[in-house]
Amino acid sequence: MSRILLSGNEAVAHGAWQAGAAVGVGYPGTPSTETLKHFAALDGVYAEWAPNEKVALEVAAGVSFAGARSLVTMKHVGLNVASDPLFTLAYTGVRGGLVILVADDPGMHSSQNEQDSRNYAAFARVPVLEPSDSSEALAFTTEAFELSERFDIPVIVRSTVRVSHAKSLVEPGERVTAPATGEYATDPAKWVMMPGMAKRRRIDLDRRIAELTEFAETSPLNVVEYRDTSIGIVCSGVCYQHVREAMPEASVLKLGIGFPMAPSLLSEFASRVDVLHVVEEADAYLARSLRQLGLVVTDLPLLPAGELSPGAIRTAFGLPEPTLREAEEAMPPRPPLMCPGCPHRPVFDTLRRKRAVVTGDIGCYTLGALKPLAAMDSCVDMGASIGMAHGAELIGGFGKRPVVAVIGDSTFAHSGVTGLMNTVYNGGAGTVLILDNRITAMTGHQGNPINGITLQKRDSHEVDLEGLVRALGVPRVRVVDPQDFEATRSALEEEIDAEELSVVIYKAPCALLIKEKQDPYAVIEEACTKCGVCIKLGCPAIGKDEMTSRAYVDTSVCVGCGQCVQVCKYDAFERTGPSCDFKGADRR
Amino acid sequence: MSARNVTTVMLCGVGGQGTILAADLLAKVAAGSGLDVKLSEVHGMSQRGGSVDTIVRFGDRVFSPVTDPGMVDHLVAFEIIEAMRNVHYVRPGGRLMVNPSSIRPLPVLTGELPPPHGLQAILAEENAVFIDADELACEAGSPKSANVVLMGALSIGLDFEEAVWHDVISRRVPPKTVEANLRAFALGREACQRGECAL
């Protein structure tokens, strides 16, 4: 096979496939999502989305215990969710190889926090491999399966956004048949981690890590490149590529294995260079690890937060930077926004008008926090909205303002359902809105249990969301079409006023699922009173004319959903013919 | 070509304009011409109408997939506000190609911030070449091919054979739109030759 361009995610999927992985399972999360999508499309594999990362890892554990190789995919925050089984799987070990892709997001391009998953590897005592480009992403993944079985332990492949979402040349190979694991035999001392057995496995885990440490000392996954020895740099992952770009003459120790460390290898490198530096993103994991080994690491003036670039590294080493043009006045920012026709918009417009305190969650609807809707007060993690609303209600809420929890369908399945169960069990009141747009939209339209679309399009069952919520014991449950403003408003008002716990399921498909666009609307200039109510919808098709202050519609963006018609008291919107303007081009 | 025989191209625009497809075309042309290539894109929130920057780097051997201000050899802006936002990435003597259309950011649509004015004049002083990609795309028969018009313009300043471009475009775009996209590519090249956009 010749060289092809693959993203790091695609390369991990291909590496797992080449290693003979039988099953792939994960939960969508940028920047990891495409990995499983790509894996699912390869020949001879089974793949599925799980409702959350904990379940995904548990499914993979079952695959492994039964003797086959499995790939689990998630983003860094997902590893928090999966950390419970992870820590114990280090003890039990594996039968079939178990590899966990964790994609970190330094710079937080699409995440609520920045965390370095190598800390989890060290914390849980699970080896972590760090590819620096797509070619290594493939090779390291196949190697991870070998190591998993050889050392009887799950292996993390840690990627970052510039590996996952960067494309580079890869030479893919053929699929191998995974080695046979032998007949399964009942063995509670290995698989049942109750205290008596776990104590022994803890000792065994330390033995396995000691063996891995020895392996790391001579593994070709760790590479030493001696050039000019006046500067020595220890780095890993994409930072290696930045270092080679910025400091082509420096000596480099590239760690492919981030845990366990290789003390002798590192000491040898340290002794042969004049000054030892570490270059890494988002956290000082490597620097701390080296110092724990007793090595002297000279600090560089690099910010610990965010992403690195070759320029940032050059600057840290005091090398000259190009003279830049002076910056012009700041350009208006371009925040992400809800799509034209988005069914979440009427709900947030209504919440804003009711001055509700909204405990929010993770998904497209988090954009309800942005102006002009500005109707979300908190967003912490997947599933947090319902628990936070319950907590606030416990102490009487926020004065006279109603407390409303907002959560999406996929997030509800992920970990909202337990929060709601808790509220019911403990006699909580309050209002919960489930925004069911029939898809996991933010990450690019993955299925989930509530819409019943499986990853490989197999026959499936769609959870009866209304029935599920009733079965949990919620006394007041109703399903409302959010595209109907009047119904949206009246339902919200009634349920806020109700003394009991209530759930409103606002059910309407994601605007991007609707392929047939209706004719756009236009503004009747004489009818527009410049009241600005339609502008507050935050619809990307509606603007305020800077000269007249009247509303106008960019007909090339409008999808004809009619939300503006419903909020305009002056009948200033009318349907017009299809636009012949260029898509999105504004020549005003 | 900058240090170590590596060329850095940055494509910037707004989610939905096809910058990522255009970057993919360029990367495949470079790979198909026997060079090492790295392409870095960030998606996620940017799919919802945010700014999108894509970096393509090619040469004998490419290390970093990202770049820094003052290091870009060719900046292709699909939208004029994004051109202004990223103009400081262009190295001294580098090329700047701009589609003069504007897509207004939400804070401008809502009247919270004024629309920026006079960008074309400022960019002209930076030796920007303006390619009316939207108009040329319509002329080619598909308004969505503006990204390929810009690749046609970019191709004039790069040392790749036209046949490789044609081959990559034909394989990569939807089958029904191959002809329109090849026309768009040709119109972009012509516009560039007319406007002396290869420095």
8 Å CB contact of B107 and A335: yes
pLDDT at B195 (0 to 100): 60
8 Å CB contact of B146 and A165: no
Q: Which residues are B75's β-sheet partners?
A: B10, B96
Nearest CA-CA partner of A430 in A352, A505, A503: A503
CA distance A556 to A583: 5
8 Å CB contact of A133 and B38: yes
Residue A461 has pLDDT above 80, yes or no: yes
Distances (CA, A) of A11 to A14, A34, A40, A453, B57: 5, 10, 13, 25, 19
| Other residues' Cβ atoms within 10 Å of the Cβ of residue A321 | 13
Per-residue pLDDT, averaged over A380-385, amounts to 95
Q: At what angle do helices A195-218 and A263-272 cross, to 10 degrees?
A: 30
**Which of helix, strand or coil describes residue B148?**
helix
Per-residue pLDDT, averaged over A289-308, amounts to 94
* A586 vs B62, B104, B107: nearest CB: B104
User: Could you tell me the pTM of the whole model?
Assistant: 0.94
Query: How many beta-carbon contacts under 8 Å exist across A and B?
Result: 199
CA distance A213 to A202: 16
State the pLDDT confidence band at A588, using cuts at 50, 70 and 90.
very low
pLDDT at A386 (0 to 100): 97
8 Å CB contact of B65 and A535: no
Residue B48 has pLDDT above 80, yes or no: no
Residue, of A522 and A515, whose pLDDT is higher? A522
pLDDT at A326 (0 to 100): 65
Nearest CA-CA partner of A216 in A271, A281, A278, A151: A151
> Residue A399, by phi and psi: left (phi above 0), alpha (psi -120 to 50) or beta?
left
pLDDT at A328 (0 to 100): 61
A71: number of CA atoms within 13 Å, CB side?
37
State the pLDDT confidence band at A66, using cuts at 50, 70 and 90.
very high
Per-residue pLDDT, averaged over A40-49, amounts to 97
Q: Which of residues 9-38 of B touch A (CB under 8 A)?
A: 14-17, 24, 27-28, 31, 36-38
pLDDT at A303 (0 to 100): 85
8 Å CB contact of B116 and A546: no
Report the relative pairing of strands A250-254 and A98-104 from DSSP bridges. unpaired
pLDDT at B69 (0 to 100): 92
Per-residue pLDDT, averaged over A287-302, amounts to 97
Tens-place pLDDT, residues A253-268? 999 999 999 999 999 9
pLDDT at A465 (0 to 100): 98
8 Å CB contact of A334 and B106: yes
> What distance lies between CA A555 and its chain's CA centroid?
34
> What distance lies between CA A349 and its chain's CA centroid?
27
- Closest-CA residue in chain B for A363? B45
Residue A254 in contact with residue A132, Cβ under 8 Å?
Answer: yes
User: Percent of chain A beyond pLDDT 70?
Assistant: 97
Per-residue pLDDT, averaged over B173-197, amounts to 90
- Closest-CA residue in chain A for B126? A325
Mutate to test the interface with A, among B7, B42, B132 (most CBs of A within 10 A): B42
8 Å CB contact of B44 and A166: no
pLDDT at A363 (0 to 100): 93
Residue A33 has pLDDT above 70, yes or no: yes
Concatenated DSSP letters of B68-88 = -TT-EEEEEESSHHHHHHHGG
Mutate to test the interface with B, among A110, A161, A245, A337 (most CBs of B within 10 A): A245
Write out chain B residues lying below 8 Å of A341, CB-based. Answer: none
Mutate to test the interface with B, among A33, A134, A167 (most CBs of B within 10 A): A167
Write out chain A residues lying below 8 Å of B137, CB-based. Answer: 582
- Closest-CA residue in chain A for B141? A582
CA distance B192 to B153: 5
pLDDT at A327 (0 to 100): 59
Per-residue pLDDT, averaged over B50-62, amounts to 95
Please give the structure tokens belonging to residue A311.
Answer: 């320029």
| Other residues' Cβ atoms within 10 Å of the Cβ of residue A43 | 6
**Which of helix, strand or coil describes residue A292?**
helix
- Closest-CA residue in chain B for A372? B110
Per-residue pLDDT, averaged over A172-187, amounts to 94
Cβ–Cβ contact B171 with A under 8 A: no
**Which of helix, strand or coil describes residue B108?**
helix
pLDDT at A135 (0 to 100): 98
CA distance B43 to B41: 6
Residue B6 has pLDDT above 90, yes or no: yes
Structural element, H or E, at residue A446: none
pLDDT at B1 (0 to 100): 37
Backbone angles phi, psi at A296, to 5 degrees: -90, 110
8 Å CB contact of B107 and A324: no
8 Å CB contact of A162 and B85: no
State the pLDDT confidence band at A582, using cuts at 50, 70 and 90.
very low
Q: Which of residues 92-151 of B touch A (CB under 8 A)?
A: 92, 101-116, 122, 126, 134-135, 137-138, 143-144, 146
> Is A113 exposed, middle or buried, given 0-12, 13-18 or 19+ CB atoms closer than 10 A?
exposed
Cβ–Cβ contact B45 with A under 8 A: yes
8 Å CB contact of B106 and A540: yes
Write out chain B residues lying below 8 Å of A241, CB-based. Answer: 38, 63-65
Q: Which of residues 54-73 of B touch A (CB under 8 A)?
A: 62-71
The nearest CA of chain B is from the CA of A367 a distance in Å of 10
8 Å CB contact of B143 and A583: yes
Report the relative pairing of strands A128-129 and A155-160 from DSSP bridges. parallel
pLDDT at A540 (0 to 100): 93
Cβ–Cβ contact B162 with A under 8 A: no
The nearest CA of chain B is from the CA of A162 a distance in Å of 7
8 Å CB contact of B104 and A248: no
Write out chain A residues lying below 8 Å of B2, CB-based. Answer: none
CA distance A391 to A195: 34
Of A56-65, A276-285, A441-450, B39-48, which gets the smallest average pLDDT? B39-48
State the pLDDT confidence band at B31, using cuts at 50, 70 and 90.
very high
8 Å CB contact of B16 and A584: yes
Mutate to test the interface with A, among B39, B57, B66, B132 (most CBs of A within 10 A): B66
Average pLDDT, chain B: 92
What is the 3 state secondary structure string of A58-114? HHHHHHHHCCCCEEEEEEHHHHHHHHHHHHHHHHHCCCCCEEEEEEECCCCCCCCCC
User: Percent of chain A beyond pLDDT 90?
Assistant: 92
CA distance A295 to A435: 53
8 Å CB contact of B134 and A582: yes
pLDDT at B16 (0 to 100): 84
Write out chain A residues lying below 8 Å of B46, CB-based. Answer: 109, 336
pLDDT at B43 (0 to 100): 63
Average pLDDT, chain A: 95
- Closest-CA residue in chain A for B136? A582
pLDDT at A584 (0 to 100): 42
The nearest CA of chain B is from the CA of A288 a distance in Å of 25
pLDDT at A298 (0 to 100): 96
Nearest CA-CA partner of B36 in B65, B11, B10: B65
Per-residue pLDDT, averaged over A83-98, amounts to 97
* A328 vs B64, B68, B84: nearest CB: B84
Per-residue pLDDT, averaged over A161-167, amounts to 97
CA distance A157 to A152: 16
Residue, of B195 and B151, whose pLDDT is higher? B151
End-to-end Cα, chain B, rounded Å: 13
Write out chain B residues lying below 8 Å of A535, CB-based. Answer: 109-111
CA distance A116 to A431: 36
- Closest-CA residue in chain A for B54? A166
The nearest CA of chain A is from the CA of B193 a distance in Å of 24
Write out chain B residues lying below 8 Å of A4, CB-based. Answer: 31
**Which of helix, strand or coil describes residue A12?**
helix
